[in-house]
Amino acid sequence: MKTMIVREYNTVMLPDSYLLDLNTHQIKGCCGCWTCWWKTPGRCIHHDLDCFYHHYITAEKVTFYLTVSQGFISANLKTLFDRMIPLFLPYTNYGSGESMHDPRYERYPDIEIYYQDTFFNTAEKQIFEDYLQRTFYQFHSKTIHLTGETPGVRS
């Protein structure tokens, strides 16, 4: 099975898995220019994520190891999400009862998320989990699993 790991903690690595280490890789920000939809469909003007795009779209499963930052996902991960817009089409459908962009590719990977559960309260944790569920649902992933881990303890 082709897999990919995106990590902010943990040193886990699988053979033949592509790794995006967000501790060493600062993602260039989306500049909102729409080149990826209007001028070069599917391609961003920045090229730092070209390898990531290929591995993400061809992986069956992508595993994330995330830290919590100011009660939310980190700015670097948020920037990665912003830069994933070229993987979808500009056209919108409403079949699910809400707005949703059409897929550009035939299939999208299953998502497994582990995060360091450093939340002060359950309300903040709910916001974090709801947001990630929402995002990958709208990114057309069929399976999304989230697991909070106490820092330093792997279940």
Partner 1 sequence: MKTLMLNGSPRADHGNTQLFIDHFQSGLTTPLPVRYLLRENPTTLALAMKEYDTILLVMPLYIHAMPGLVMKLFEELKPQSSHHQKIGFIVQAGFIESATARYLENYLSALAHRLNYTYLGTVIKGDAAACSILPHFFFGRLFKQLKALGVAYEKTGSFDPLLVKKLGNPVYLSKFQVRLLESRLVSRLNQVGWNWILKRNGCFENRYDRPFL
Ligand X SMILES: Cc1cc2nc3c(=O)[nH]c(=O)nc-3n(C[C@H](O)[C@H](O)[C@H](O)COP(=O)(O)O)c2cc1C
CB burial string 48-70: b at 16+ within 10 A, e below: ebeebbebbbebebbbbbbbbee
Told to check if 60 binds partner 1 by CB under 8 A, we report no
Q: Which one of 15, 24, 98, 154 is in contact with partner 1 (CB under 8 A)?
A: 98
Residue 35 region by backbone torsions, left for phi larger than 0, else alpha for psi between -120 and 50, else beta: alpha
Residue with tokens 């500009």: 90
Residue 2 binding target from partner 1, ligand X, none, CB below 5 to 8 Å by type: none
Told to check if 95 binds ligand X by CB under 6 A, we report no
Residue 58 binding target from ligand X, partner 1, none, CB below 5 to 8 Å by type: partner 1
Question: What does the block give as tokens for 71?
Answer: 């009660």
Question: What does the block give as tokens for 145?
Answer: 């699993």
Site size for partner 1 (CB under 8 A):
56
Site size for ligand X (CB under 6 A):
4
Told to check if 22 binds ligand X by CB under 6 A, we report no
Q: Is 140 helix (H, G, I), strand (E, B) or coil?
A: coil
Told to check if 120 binds partner 1 by CB under 8 A, we report yes
Bridge partners of 64, per DSSP, are 6, 113
Residue 9 binding target from partner 1, ligand X, none, CB below 5 to 8 Å by type: none
Maximum CA pair distance of the chain? 47
Residue 152 binding target from ligand X, partner 1, none, CB below 5 to 8 Å by type: none
- In the complex, the residues that contact ligand X under the rule CB under 6 A are 30, 32, 82, 85
